Amino acid sequence: MRTATIVLLFLFASMSSASAEITTQDDVIVTVDSTNLRFSPSEVTVQEGQAVRFVWSGQALGHNAVADDGLFDSGEPERDVDYRFVFEIGTAGEHQFVCEPHEAAGMIGTVTVEAAPAVVIEDESEPETVETPAVSLLASLSILALVAVMRRPLEE
């Protein structure tokens, strides 16, 4: 009886250890520097799934952030902007953006989006393929233990 209890405890322990890993990445902030005519920073790198926030307030001039490839657009130039854009899976690559009124003054930037790391996909699939045989092995061991415990009085 003690063996069966221990085996069942192992079974529950291995099942509860199979928890999903949650990875959250902070937004990357792009603002406007003290010259009023530059993004700061003007070059940022994110991973697919991550967001860039274009944030400024109380600016002397109105600004916006518009991607050359049309991927994102903060709208009309404003002195106060808080625009967040998530670079979804499939947006990997370089995205140039400009502040439309000040593009000629050199108010341009680049968001480099890196493909989501393959490790994340492995992390999601691996525990299941590894966990399943381990659980079924423990389950069959516990059944064997229960059978052994139950059969003992009958054999004597």
Residues contributing to the site for Cu ion (CB under 5 A): 63, 99, 102, 107
Whichever of 95 and 102 has its CB closer to Cu ion, that residue is 102
Q: How far is the CB of 129 from Cu ion (least distance, A)?
A: 51
Nearer to Cu ion, 40 or 45 (CB): 40
**Residue 82 per-residue DSSP state:** E
Least distance (Å) between residue 55 CB and Cu ion? 14
Whether the CB-CB separation of 15 and 153 falls below 8 Å is answered with no
Half-sphere exposure of 34 (CA within 13 A, CB side): 0
d(CA 8, CA 22): 28
Of 50, 52, 48, nearest in space to 39 by CA? 52
- Cβ closest to Cu ion, residue 99 vs residue 138: 99
Q: Compute the least distance from the CB of residue 61 to Cu ion, in Å.
A: 6
Least separation in angstroms between CB 99 and Cu ion: 3
Cβ proximity to Cu ion, 103 vs 122, nearer residue:
103
Phi/psi for 92 (5° steps) reads: -55, 140
Looking at residue 22, its amino acid is I
